[in-house]
A and B are shown apart, each in its own frame.
Chain A
Amino acid sequence: MRRENGKDLEVLTFGLEGEVFAVEAESVREILDLVSVTDVPNSRPFVSGLINVRGKIVPLADLHIRFGMAPFNQSVDTRVVVIEVPLAGEPTTVGIIADKVFEVTNLIDASIEEAPDIGLKWRREFISGIGKRAEDFVIVLDMERIFAMGDTETVAQAEAAAKNHS
């Protein structure tokens, strides 16, 4: 975990298929409505689109696919969260699709727990921690890892590989 001790973690919370996820607010640049996506033929399904963010061409990622959910379905609540993540050491602007964006909130230090090994639907490498907000769990994502992962590796494959190891 890259989190510094004794500090609150400011996050943006958003929903994917009913689960609440969060990204560190520091990495969020802006939140946009989803308009006009350009397909990149033969790219990885997880990052198959490009969007125009104020004259900048930005890849659009669908975390649904990364997490083994069905691809996103556009609704009135769909938003693009524009974040900046380091990719191979270079800060890169990326858009991620959210079914719904909730709020910017502080997770106090004590409530962020290291991701447990078991009892998780998602690969723990993707998760930088689990916070509690009221009675709900918030999954704080490690965007750098999510984008850094191998070209063709899918969650299912990676999980299968992990099982074979243990």
Chain B
Amino acid sequence: MNSPDPGEIFRTEAQELLEQLEQALLDLETAPEDGELISSAFRALHTLKGSGAMFGFDAAARFAHGLENAFDLVRKGKVAASGALIGVALSAKDHLRLLIERPEEASSDESARILANLAKTIGAAGTAETAAATDEGADGATQGETSSATYRIQIRFPEDVMDNGTNPLLLIGELQDLGTCTVSPLTERVPPLDDIKPSACYVGWDVVLTTEKPRSAIEEVFIFVLDDMDLRVEKVEETSKRLGEILVERGDTPPDAVLTALSNQQRLGEILVKDGAASKERVASALAEQRHLTAAAAQAPQKAQPLQDSIKVPAERLDNLMDRVGELVIAQARLREIATASQDLALKVVAEEIERLASELRDNTMGIRMVPIGSLFGRFRRLVRDLSRELGKKVQLFTSGEETELDKTMIERLNDPMIHLIRNCIDHGLERPDVRTQAGKLQEGRVELSAVHSGAQVIISIKDDGKGLDRTRIRARAEEMGYLAPGAKVTDNELFQVIFQPGFSTSREVTNVSGRGVGMDVVKRTIEGLRGAIEINSTEGHGTEITLKLPLTLAIIDGLLVRVGLGRYVIPLSMVEECVELTPEQNLRAKNRNFLSIRGELVPFLRLRDMFNVTADAEPFPKVVIVSAGDLRVGLLVDQVIGDHQTVIKTLTKLHADVETFSGATILGDGSVALILDIDHLIDFGRAQEERLKAS
């Protein structure tokens, strides 16, 4: 090609732009308020950034970005074009020239130094933005999926869509290029001929697409018009479906109308059209989808996966598998109920066989979801490095137990709380190097992350060798906030738990690092949301250790099913020690003290009927389920113990976030819902209720 290389042109152009920038900066010294000069400097930087990145001058582009952000603030009037700022900008301009003309001679430390200087000059208003420019861009490309899926795509454009130069037919054509496509145009919005505006788009489209591309590729097609149009993309199962199911799923027909039509025993589509329950076109479009799906379902089994030692599976599929296993476990519970009630020996044998298989399948599936925690620890190296630099503290990170496996969802949700805890460690826990030397410690502080399995739990610890928690200050603050009665005797653990109260912070200086974002109360809530617990140990002068105790999985637990009044509840079996009967005499005797003697040891118990405001008749022989929560043994008085129950845990929605006594819910064999007791919170709630009773 005989055209000149754009990279070469950029270099020439950059010289002009840098001169334009220099001139603007020099003129600004005498006229710092001149808007045209500021725009001129901003535009030069903007072009240097945009074009620089285009032609491979990445370092220059990043650096120009930092400068551009600063001048954007000037342009918006948030920062003044002071003499100091212009001084820094001029030196930045020289450095930028070097980055473009002789990049091999420019050092990245110098870039960082100048940007830091710039940040200091423009003050807090710009730190976040200029700092962002030194950060490396997005990491790794996303993985492409290779399996195919079928999507139902409902496309409705605004009538004026073509005014902006969008051609709907091209977009539909693009969709067709993505895979196997069935397109049904919908013309019901087309007005009578006289009213038609030639530049308007009245047609909608229903498209069924089978593609190997991810869902985002479909949205990508419409990216320019996404905000103005109505686009619905739904994944549909590649199975033969009935017409009525499709119409209802697509929201074209109410379910009742389908049922009515079905009971008439004619061709469904015809009836629905006749009844006016769906337009002829919509039914035709649904029929087209039906044919597409049937064809796709016939195709699907032919695409066999090549044999491999290990395969990569999208996380979504694992979640789906887990859901199916959950449903299987629920169905199996129903089968067991039927088999138990039945006299049929053969049925009982099969039911037991299926129970064993379901339980093995459950364990295997959960095994697939387990991921080593090392992947999480690895992310914190960078964090620790950045923080130590930012805070001027020397820190070394040690990790152990990286091979410990945890459910992948759990690992994802642990990310934020762990970041917060590590930040706290380095910001508040570790001392500055000079202070450490005075205290006779190594200059370099230690932060240790470790993970270890313990029964059905994983224990994660975050430990530092810093100054430890200041009990006096925490106590003072706790009393001030009203979390602790003045002079009350509390254990260390109880005192430290106060840190997790909302709004609690003893930090005198709010730093950039831990002064922002979430508080410890959010950390605690997240850990408890994972059905975990958090503990603190600290020795003044020697450091702090925070321990997280978490269940191995979030998905399924073994539970004990009990009845209280008419409601059924699940108690996590791992916390149950034993069940005993409460005789009427004991019950009477215990009326006012709620203590029970178990083999000579006094155990307090909670009357769940009272706590849950049950009015239904009580059993004459209630049961007490003894549970252990930490070092505490507590009895739960229930009406009936029903038996073991494999519990598929479903979380409650935010609407029930205020009810802390339940950690989730599950579906029983008969299809009804049972709540899962959160033992720790239940005990707290019981105590609070007792206090209230005593007080009144």
Contacts and interface: CB of A to CB of B under 8 A. Distances in A.
Chains A, B in direct contact (C-beta < 8 Å): yes
Nearest to A59: B655
Nearest to A44: B658
B327 interface: yes
B653 A87 contact: yes
A142 to B, nearest CB: 16
B218 interface: no
B276 to A, nearest CB: 12
Contacts of B650: 56-57
Interface stretch (A34-42, A122-130, A131-139): A34-42
A36 B655 CA distance: 19
A151 interface: yes
Contact of B672 (A30, A36, A61, A151): A36
A151 B658 CA distance: 8
Contact of B656 (A25, A47, A104): A47
B151 interface: no
Given A36-B672, A57-B667, A41 B655 contact: no
A44 B653 CA distance: 13
A92 B655 contact: yes
Interface in A29-74: 30-31, 36, 38-44, 47, 50-52, 55-59, 61
B675 A40 contact: yes
A90 interface: yes
Interface in B306-328: 323, 326-327
B659 A94 contact: no
A61 B475 CA distance: 43
Given A39-B567, A56-B650, A47 B655 contact: yes
Contact of B655 (A38, A61, A104): A61
Contact of A38 (B254, B567, B685): B567
B358 to A, nearest CB: 16
Nearest to A58: B653
B567 A59 contact: no
A40 B254 contact: no
Given A25-B251, A40-B662, A94 B611 contact: no
A42 B654 contact: no
| Residue of A38, A43, A44, A147 most packed against chain B (CB within 10 A) | A38
Contacts of B612: 41-42
B367 interface: no
A88 interface: yes
Given A38-B674, A41-B661, A57-B673, A94 B330 contact: no
A26 to B, nearest CB: 8
Given A42-B613, A52-B673, A151-B658, A94 B653 contact: yes
Contact of A31 (B255, B652, B662): B255
B567 A55 contact: no
A40 B564 CA distance: 12
A43 B659 CA distance: 6
A57 B326 CA distance: 13
A51 B675 CA distance: 11
Contact of B330 (A55, A61, A92): A55
B621 to A, nearest CB: 23
Contacts of B672: 36, 38, 52
B665 interface: yes
B654 A57 contact: no
Contacts of B255: 30-31
B671 interface: yes
| Residue of A40, A61, A87, A90 most packed against chain B (CB within 10 A) | A40
A31 B414 CA distance: 38
Contacts of A92: 653-655
Contacts of B326: 55
Contacts of A51: 673
A44 B655 CA distance: 9
Nearest to A25: B251
A93 B611 CA distance: 28
What bracket does the count of chain B residues touching chain A fall in?
Answer: 20 to 34
A42 B658 CA distance: 9
A51 B671 CA distance: 9
B655 A87 contact: yes
Nearest to B612: A41
| Residue of B652, B653, B654 most packed against chain A (CB within 10 A) | B653
Interface in B183-200: none
A36 B671 CA distance: 9
| Residue of A42, A51, A58, A87 most packed against chain B (CB within 10 A) | A42
Interface in B650-687: 650, 652-656, 658-659, 661-662, 665-667, 671-675, 685
A92 to B, nearest CB: 5
Given A31-B255, A50-B665, A38 B673 contact: yes
B163 to A, nearest CB: 15
A55 B662 CA distance: 19
Contacts of B659: 40-43
Contacts of B327: 55
A41 B567 contact: yes
A94 B654 CA distance: 11
A57 B666 CA distance: 8
| Residue of B256, B661, B672, B673 most packed against chain A (CB within 10 A) | B673
B655 A147 contact: yes
A117 B658 CA distance: 32
A92 B671 CA distance: 21
Interface string A88-110: 10101110000000001000000
Given A41-B612, A56-B650, A94 B667 contact: no
Contacts of B613: 41-42
Contacts of B665: 38, 50, 57
B462 to A, nearest CB: 29
Given A57-B673, A59-B656, A41 B667 contact: no
A59 B673 CA distance: 11
B661 A42 contact: yes
A92 B651 CA distance: 12
A87 B675 CA distance: 21
Contacts of B666: 57
Contacts of A44: 655, 658
Contacts of A50: 652, 665, 673, 675
20 contacts: A36-B673, A38-B672, A38-B674, A40-B675, A41-B613, A41-B661, A42-B659, A51-B673, A55-B323, A55-B326, A55-B327, A55-B330, A56-B650, A57-B650, A57-B667, A88-B654, A90-B654, A93-B653, A94-B653, A94-B655
Interface of B: 251, 254-256, 323, 326-327, 330, 566-567, 611-613, 650, 652-656, 658-659, 661-662, 665-667, 671-675, 685
Given A38-B673, A40-B662, 14 more contacts: A30-B255, A31-B256, A36-B672, A41-B661, A42-B659, A44-B658, A47-B656, A51-B673, A55-B326, A57-B652, A87-B654, A90-B654, A147-B655, A151-B658
Q: 5 closest Cβ contacts across the A-B interface?
A: A41-B612, A38-B673, A36-B672, A50-B673, A57-B650
